């Protein structure tokens, strides 16, 4: 039989007197609007299932019940992992800051989703077909940057003309990306020329490179629509911008690029993340050594 922990006084290390204030502080750490929204939804869902009890009374049973509820209600393994990891992160933050005495989430293991990376990597032939699918120069430049630069959608949408500079025969772009880190990505002559063709004569340094008819800055949803349309023209349904980033990593490694170079170009936090592409498309297999 489990017993609830005795609620403690709010920590002096963190300016939160209620769970609502504490959760708000936790969410404010996340810079991405999409991440904050996803985390807030998962936490609200979990607390609703517990009857809106105080965080200090949460037990391991509550997390296990939440895990069972997610599975029973048909959430994918990746969604289950994300939601449980969110609650576990909240409870860990509570202990780290002294707001909670214990981190009961440490004993709960989130499910490991199936690795579908290999299914999302385009062949070089398909990638090139996608790049040439759009009719407008702007859309072609968007697809080319997603692939040749390995950019995330948010990074592409944030590009301004001051971020693009000539370099040798090509150019380079300054990318402000995930984790609030800036990286310099050299680009080929062809990619650089694709961008310079779009640049208005009177373009200002802080002007966004990619705009829409309604706004000065293209949205992530707008990029998704452009990529999806290009994929449909090439017979590749459900194509997303991240598939082009996956393709960049895989194709560069297959052509002999150093794994550390690919890591730095894509802005991965560790080599382990980049190495996933080597495992997704291995060049050798023990199956080749059999007689069949």
pLDDT tens per residue, range 108-157 = 888 776 666 666 778 899 999 999 999 999 999 999 999 999 999 999 99
Q: Which of 30, 120, 242, 276 is catalytic?
A: 242
Q: Does residue 178 carry a catalytic annotation?
A: yes
55-107 pLDDT, tens digit each: 999 999 999 999 999 999 988 888 998 999 999 999 999 999 889 988 999 88
Q: Which of 88, 140, 152, 163 is catalytic?
A: 152
pLDDT of residue 3: 42
In this structure, of 77-86, 175-184, 270-279, the range with the lowest mean pLDDT score is 270-279
| Best CA proximity match to 58, nearest among 9, 1, 6, 10 | 6
Residue 17 confidence (pLDDT) above 50: yes
pLDDT of residue 206: 93
**In whole angstroms, what is the distance from residue 201 CA to residue 247 CA?**
34
Q: Does residue 66 carry a catalytic annotation?
A: no
pLDDT of residue 224: 94
In this structure, of 23-27, 80-84, 258-262, 276-280, the range with the lowest mean pLDDT score is 276-280
Packing angle between helix 241-254 and helix 259-266, nearest 10 degrees? 160
**In whole angstroms, what is the distance from residue 154 CA to residue 35 CA?**
12
The answer for 238, left when phi > 0, alpha when psi is -120 to 50, beta otherwise, is left
User: How far lies 168's CA from each of 21, 192, 258, in Å?
Assistant: 52, 11, 22
* Half-sphere CA count of 130, side-chain side, radius 13 A: 32
pLDDT of residue 70: 92
pLDDT of residue 133: 94
Q: Which of 140, 163, 245, 263 is catalytic?
A: 245
Q: Does residue 216 carry a catalytic annotation?
A: no
For residues 29-56, average pLDDT: 90
Q: Is 185 helix (H, G, I), strand (E, B) or coil?
A: strand
Residue 10 · residue 16 · CB < 8 Å: yes
Q: Does residue 268 carry a catalytic annotation?
A: yes
DSSP letters of 277-288? HHHHS-S--GGG
User: How far lies 280's CA from each of 77, 78, 115, 251, in Å?
Assistant: 19, 18, 9, 12
> Residue 61 CB: number of other CB atoms within 10 A?
12
**In whole angstroms, what is the distance from residue 260 CA to residue 267 CA?**
10
Residue 32 · residue 154 · CB < 8 Å: yes
Q: Which of 39, 66, 147, 277 is catalytic?
A: 277
Q: Which of 36, 178, 183, 228 is catalytic?
A: 178
* Half-sphere CA count of 286, side-chain side, radius 13 A: 0
Q: Does residue 276 carry a catalytic annotation?
A: no
Q: Does residue 152 carry a catalytic annotation?
A: yes
Which one-letter DSSP state was computed for residue 103? -
Residue 292 confidence (pLDDT) above 80: no
pLDDT band at 30 (very low <50, low <70, confident <90, very high): confident
pLDDT of residue 238: 87
């Amino acid at each position: 039989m489990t017993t609830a922990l005795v609620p403690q006084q709010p920590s002096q290390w963190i300016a939160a007197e209620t769970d609502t204030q504490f959760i708000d502080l936790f969410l404010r750490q996340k810079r991405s609007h999409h991440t904050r929204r996803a985390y807030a939804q998962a936490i609200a869902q979990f607390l609703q299932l517990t009857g809106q009890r105080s965080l200090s009374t949460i037990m391991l049973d509550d997390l296990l019940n939440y895990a069972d509820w997610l599975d029973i209600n048909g959430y994918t393994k990746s969604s289950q992992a994300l939601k449980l990891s969110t609650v576990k992160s909240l409870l860990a933050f509570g202990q780290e800051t002294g707001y909670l005495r214990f981190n009961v989430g440490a004993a709960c293991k989130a499910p490991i989703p199936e690795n579908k990376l290999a299914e999302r990597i385009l062949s070089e032939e398909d990638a090139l077909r996608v790049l040439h699918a759009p009719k407008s120069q702007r859309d072609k430049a968007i697809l080319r940057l997603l692939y040749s630069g390995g950019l995330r959608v948010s990074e592409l949408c944030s590009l301004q003309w001051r971020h693009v500079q000539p370099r040798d025969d090509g150019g380079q772009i300054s990318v402000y990306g995930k984790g609030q880190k800036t990286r310099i990505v050299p680009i080929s002559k062809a990619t650089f020329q694709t961008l310079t063709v779009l640049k208005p004569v009177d373009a200002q340094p802080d002007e966004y490179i990619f705009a829409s008819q309604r706004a000065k800055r293209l949205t992530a949803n707008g990029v998704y629509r452009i990529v999806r349309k290009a994929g449909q023209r090439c017979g590749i349904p459900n194509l997303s911008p991240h598939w082009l980033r996956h393709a960049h990593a895989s194709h560069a490694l297959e052509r002999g690029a150093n794994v550390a170079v690919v890591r730095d170009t894509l802005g991965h936090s560790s080599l382990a993340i980049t190495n996933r592409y080597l495992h997704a498309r291995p060049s050798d297999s023990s199956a080749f050594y059999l007689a069949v």
